[in-house]
Amino acid sequence: MQVTATVHVAVLDPLPMFRRGVAASLSSLGHLVEEPANAEAWLRERPGGVVLLTLHSAEDVDQLTALCSLRPRPLVVALPSADDASLGVRAMRAGARSVVAREATASALQRAVSATLNGEAVMPANVAALLVAGRGGRVPRGSAPSAEQIAWLRRLSDGWTVTRLALDTGYSERAMYRLLRALYQKIGVGTRLEAIMLAQEKGWFEN
């Protein structure tokens, strides 16, 4: 059964030309394509919407993790570079419904969005191979975090955004992202979700 209803779609990418190209492609299917400044607020207003999120860095994966932690869980299609299969694996583990290479053709993107709306998970073959093999997006476990860092993770597990955490701790948002990225590297994970899961596994929140 194919989805025919109009759906709100958010495109999150740093390049205006790319966003406009995606908008033209998906608008031809009848979808309402937007470019929100705040994806979390946009999803709260449009709980049935789809988010297309380009992935270039760990900060982008953090944003993906934050979006996928919302309830009801949104439909997020991650758009990593075609030559970075491990980033696609991290996206799937963080909660993305589908992964499509950012360099994919307009028709491939259309098919992926339609399939995602119909309950299917779409991903490149190399991402699927890494997932099946249990590789990609993981690094060896590192050292334990400080009490302050555990407090950060506890707040993130409670649903705090990085922006709110930065305000609460007195750091700029950019500095907070940098500190969190260093924390993830320290404890041997790649994303916020993996950090929270590790903290729960290790019992750090119980201290």
CATH number of 109's domain: 3.40.50.2300
Q: Tell me what percent of the residues of the chain surpass a pLDDT of 90.
A: 50
Domain with residue 171: its CATH number is 1.10.10
Angle (CA) 157-89-29 rounded to 5° is 95
Same domain, 94 and 29: yes
111-170 pLDDT tens trace? 999 999 999 999 998 888 877 776 555 444 567 788 899 999 999 999 999 999 999 999
Q: How far apart are CA 83 and CA 37, in angstroms?
A: 28
In whole angstroms, what is the distance from residue 26 CA to residue 111 CA?
10
- Is 3 within a domain? no
Give the separation between CA 55 and CA 61, rounded to whole angstroms. Answer: 7
* Number of separate domains in the chain: 2
Average pLDDT over residues 66-71: 86
Specify the amino acid at residue 149: Q
Does some domain include residue 74?
yes
Domain residue limits at 161: 147-206
Q: Rounded distance, CA 49 to CA 40, Å? A: 11
For residue 188, being part of any structural domain is answered with yes
Residue 186 lies in a domain: yes
Same domain, 20 and 108: yes
What does R_g of the chain's alpha carbons equal in angstroms?
A: 17
Average pLDDT over the chain reads 87
Same domain, 84 and 164: no
pLDDT value of position 142: 61
pLDDT at 116: 93
Q: Is residue 199 a part of any domain in this protein?
A: yes
DSSP 131-161: HHHT-SS-----PPPPHHHHHHHHHHHTT--
In this prediction, residue 22 carries a pLDDT of 95
Predicted confidence at residue 155, as pLDDT, reads 93
What pLDDT does 186 receive? 84
Residues 177 and 108 in one domain: no
- Same domain? For 33 and 128 the reply is yes
Evaluate if residue 62 carries a pLDDT over 70. Answer: yes
Phi, psi for 76 (deg, rounded to 5): -120, 125
List beta partners, residue 99. Answer: 78
